[in-house]
Amino acid sequence: MLGNSLASSFLTYESATLCSTYFSDLSAFAPNCAPLKLNISHRITPNAQSNVFRQRSCKFVGASRNWGLHSVSQTQSVALLENEERKMWDSCRQALSTLKFSVEEADVILSKAFGWAHSPYWGEERVKEVPKGEMVNGTLDYLRNLGLSDDDLYKLLKKFPEVCGCSLNDELKMNVATLEKEWGIKGTSLRSLLLRNPKVLGYNVDCKGDCMAQCTRCWVRF
């Protein structure tokens, strides 16, 4: 009897500890989620506790697995590119590799910039296209000519990967000219601005207070 009582107490304590640790870790991962309450007392048998814990665990493991599959699905279509398109994509990867981006990081940048993965910046306007090496290289070269180092470009692309998909002439160059003409921002001041708010390079509308529902690309944010 004493042995059974001790074993029951130990299992109760172990289950409670595992659950506490599990949901504590989950809380740290998703701090905005409402805390889950799991009432464990000596009235619940060890088997019941174990079943409850397994059910809770399976739900979150399943959710995590679904999220992973969804993320993978965004890049699966890239693997199905035809030979010529694959060469174009690889040339863009090569351009980004000079900034020390891994293949996986380069794919994320290109996917967000050219409509292969959803980006709130574009909304619904971005049409999927295969990136061209000359376009990506042209954007990087132009930004280097503005005084940005490769380390600067790495930081800028981490913040704003969509810049690779912006028009060099109609957006980047025009916006840099506007910054200098309207606010006198150039040189080191321009470099500091672009590192702080690189999305200014892609602004293409100015609602002037009359909302056009394109807030992510509007000069009103500047």
Q: What is the overall mean pLDDT for the chain?
A: 74
Q: Note the pTM of the prediction, 2 decimals.
A: 0.63
Predicted local distance difference test score (pLDDT) of residue 217: 60
Ramachandran class of 148: left when φ > 0, alpha when ψ lies in -120 to 50, beta otherwise: beta
Q: Which domains does the chain have, with CATH numbers?
A: 2-74 (no CATH), 81-221 (1.25.70.10)
Q: What is the pLDDT of residue 210?
A: 61
Under a CB-based contact definition with an 8 Å cutoff, are residues 168 and 139 in contact? yes
Q: What backbone phi and psi angles, to 5 degrees, belong to 209?
A: 95, -10
Phi, psi of 199 (to 5 degrees): -65, -15
Whole-number pLDDT of residue 211: 58
91 pLDDT band, cuts 50/70/90, is very high
**pLDDT tier for residue 125 given thresholds of 50, 70 and 90:** confident
- The pair of structure tokens assigned to 164 is 């690779």
Measured in residues, the chain has a length of 222
- pLDDT score recorded for residue 25: 45
- Three-state secondary-structure class, residue 218: strand
Residue 57 has pLDDT above 50, yes or no: no
Dist. CA 53–CA 38, nearest whole Å:
9
